[in-house]
Amino acid sequence: MLPNHRREKIFDIIKEDGHAMVTQLSKIFKVTEVTIRQDLEKLEKSGMIKREHGGAFLKDVQTDVRSFRLRNQENLTEKANIAQKAIELVKDGDTIILDSGSTTTEIARKISGYRNLTVITNALNIALMLGADPGINLVVTGGEFKAPTLSLTGQKAADFFNNLHVDKLFLATAGITLRSGLTYPSISDIVVKRAMIESADVVYLVADSSKIGKTSFASLGSLSLINYLITDSKITEKNIVMMREHEINLIIAEQK
């Protein structure tokens, strides 16, 4: 892996988890700790992170957490359109999982007026948005808190889904390719998302079209894990053909 590419991946991990240790990064990228320290020094000089003893952390993460603000605010119009399409699939009496993420947060913003809807989530910002709605039975997983995504992750979050059965899962992702499948910046999230999928009758992947063709650090598995991909109208004709050739059910949210 070229140094620039490695530093980009290192920053993705720190941006997702909020921090990373030199020893951890050295094992992940199979380079020396000296090399990782040099990478972190360059990232700090670019203003992206702040180094600390043994590792580095994301700048301004405390401010973001206190204001319950997600960092990923790109393609919000497309995400809102996807959310509207997703809401049309939810019915009174359903039990659904809302994964953490900016697109699933947009879904949560649009949830209202339902009766006896059960929402299970590992996202604390989503929990606060929906917790006071009288028509929603809100359930929050346990787990380790991940500051940049305002989410709960790790094995304890995954264990929560043991023996659970839900109607629908609205799943987030960082990247979608045929070769790597669904990919994410954080290893700790993989076990949680796998447990979510195993508990759901129907899995809807909600992802704006910019995610198609991108890969992130950790792979969850092939696209066969999902039942539907809900994406926006900017998806290319080439990607539409590719998805259909591989029997991926597409739901395209038109521009409002």
Alpha helices in 139-248 (DSSP H): 155-159, 187-199, 237-245
Query: What architecture is the 3-59 domain classified under in CATH?
Result: Orthogonal Bundle (1.10)
Residue 83 backbone class (left: φ over 0; alpha: ψ -120 to 50; beta: rest): alpha
For CATH 1.10.10.10, the residue range(s) in the chain are 3-59
In sequence order, which residues have a C-beta less than 8 Å from that of residue 141 and are 6 or more positions away?
Answer: 120, 121, 122, 152, 156, 157, 160, 161, 192
Looking at residue 32, the DSSP 8-state letter turns out to be: -
- What's the pLDDT score for residue 71? 67
Instruction: Tell me the per-residue pLDDT of 159-213, one tens digit each, with 9 for 90 and over.
Output: 999 999 999 999 999 999 989 999 998 888 999 999 999 999 999 999 999 999 9
In one letter, which amino acid is 103? Answer: T
Residues of the chain with CATH 3.40.50.1360: 76-253
- Strands 228-232 and 200-206, how do they pair? parallel
Contacts of 165 (CB under 8 A, 6+ apart): 95, 199, 201
Which token pair is 245? 């050739």
Residue 32 backbone phi and psi in degrees, to 5: -70, 160
Task: Write out residues in the chain with pLDDT < 70, as ranges.
Answer: 64, 67-68, 71-72, 256
Domain 76-253 falls in which CATH fold?
A: Rossmann fold (3.40.50)
* Region at 113 (left for phi over 0; alpha for psi -120 to 50; beta for the rest): left
pLDDT given for residue 229 in this prediction: 97
SS3 229: strand
**Quick check: 195 and 221 in contact, CB under 8 A?**
no
pTM of the model: 0.85
Report residue 169 as tokens.
């899962």
Strand order across the beta sheet in which 19-21 lies: 19-21, 55-58, 49-52
CB 102 within 8 A of CB 70: yes
pLDDT single digits (tens) 105-119 = 999 999 999 999 999
State residue 197's pLDDT score.
98
